[in-house]
């Protein structure tokens, strides 16, 4: 007996319904598996003693209770930094445009100008040398706010290292190697106050400051007749700088990556860009975001 029109239409909707259910079931399985893989990857990181969320990162970046914080003294020094008008400051080495070969002596006017600038920054220098003697450092960053955390301390911190470099070079011009080396040791301490800061840009700033420290040490060695003991102090500083690792920065980057899709803390990047926010939501809903995040976490690890 031939099928009626109603029977054919009923079979057609059955097929559509079956396809729809199959799509939903496939999506559900894919989504649950992707999310389970993401959660497993996060637990693996936690088992290694590392953070994976922004809140965990905020707690991980800390100093032992009751210990002094070198960052406090460094930021106080930053508050006391004195800068000159650009045209006048350009006549300074390191902080300005004036350049000297590694063993070339300063001009008398450069020497006098440097002394004046260092005198204006005496308070800042005192605080920096004090901070160098403090073991632990934690800058006031609140990672719990997501991508809105501030890194405003990085630029001024680099300026403090430049100021110290000028001081060390001036001591070298006056043939005071012990004081020059002490200042270089302070440069290392200030630079490495960033060594535990879990942000990639912070580690790059630390590397840049280390580069300036090496150049300053070269200048001091070239301008002063150092004893074996003094040379060993410089060698020890270089050795300490070599212990620096970029790995700390990747610990933070891994948390940023995991938080992007998982809790939406990176959604602030999408403000004003509806299409981008829609892509983030779609990527999470479909489960693609979890798989991509696991891939990126593995790369960073």
Across the chain, which has 301 residues, the per-10-residue mean pLDDT values are 55 72 80 90 94 94 95 97 93 93 93 96 97 96 84 95 97 96 97 95 95 96 95 91 88 89 51 63 78 90 89
Confidence at residue 269, expressed as pLDDT on a 0 to 100 scale: 47
Confidence at residue 270, expressed as pLDDT on a 0 to 100 scale: 45
Query: From CA 185, how far away is CA 182, in angstroms rounded?
Result: 5
Q: Tell me if 234 sits within 8 A of 221, measured CB to CB.
A: yes
Tokens 């995991």 correspond to what residue?
A: 258
Confidence at residue 277, expressed as pLDDT on a 0 to 100 scale: 67
pTM of the model: 0.84
3-state helix, strand, coil in the chain (%, to 5): 70, 0, 30
- Provide the token pair at 231: 């040379």
Count of Cβ atoms closer than 10 Å to residue 261 Cβ: 20
Confidence at residue 276, expressed as pLDDT on a 0 to 100 scale: 63
Q: Tell me if 248 sits within 8 A of 196, measured CB to CB.
A: yes
Confidence at residue 1, expressed as pLDDT on a 0 to 100 scale: 52
């Amino acid at each position: 007996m031939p099928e009626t029109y109603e029977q054919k239409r009923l079979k057609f909707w059955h097929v559509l319904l079956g396809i729809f259910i199959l799509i939903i079931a496939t999506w559900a399985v894919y989504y649950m598996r992707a999310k389970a893989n993401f959660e497993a990857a996060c637990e693996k990181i936690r088992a290694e003693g590392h953070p994976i969320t922004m809140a965990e990162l905020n707690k991980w970046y800390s100093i032992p209770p009751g210990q002094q914080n070198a960052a406090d003294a460094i930021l106080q020094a930053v508050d006391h930094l004195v800068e000159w008008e650009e045209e006048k400051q350009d006549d300074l080495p390191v902080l300005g445009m004036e350049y000297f070969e590694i063993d070339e002596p300063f001009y008398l006017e450069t020497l006098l100008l440097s002394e004046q600038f260092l005198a204006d920054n005496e308070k800042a220098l005192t605080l920096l040398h004090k901070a160098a003697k403090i073991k632990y450092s934690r800058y006031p960053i609140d990672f719990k706010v997501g991508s809105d955390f501030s890194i405003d301390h990085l630029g001024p911190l680099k300026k403090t290292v430049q100021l110290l470099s000028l001081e060390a070079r001036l001591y070298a011009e006056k043939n005071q190697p012990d004081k020059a080396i002490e200042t270089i040791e302070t440069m290392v301490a200030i630079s490495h106050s960033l060594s535990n800061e879990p942000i990639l840009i912070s580690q790059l700033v630390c590397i840049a400051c280390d580069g300036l420290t090496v150049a300053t040490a070269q200048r001091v060695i070239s301008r002063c007749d150092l004893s074996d003991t003094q040379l060993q102090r410089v060698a020890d500083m270089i050795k300490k700088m070599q212990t620096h690792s970029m790995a700390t920065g990747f610990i933070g980057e891994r948390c940023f990556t995991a938080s992007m899709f998982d809790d939406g803390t990176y959604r602030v990047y999408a403000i004003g860009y509806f299409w981008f926010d829609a892509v983030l939501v779609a990527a999470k809903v479909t489960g693609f975001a979890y798989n991509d995040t696991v891939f990126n976490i593995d790369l960073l690890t």
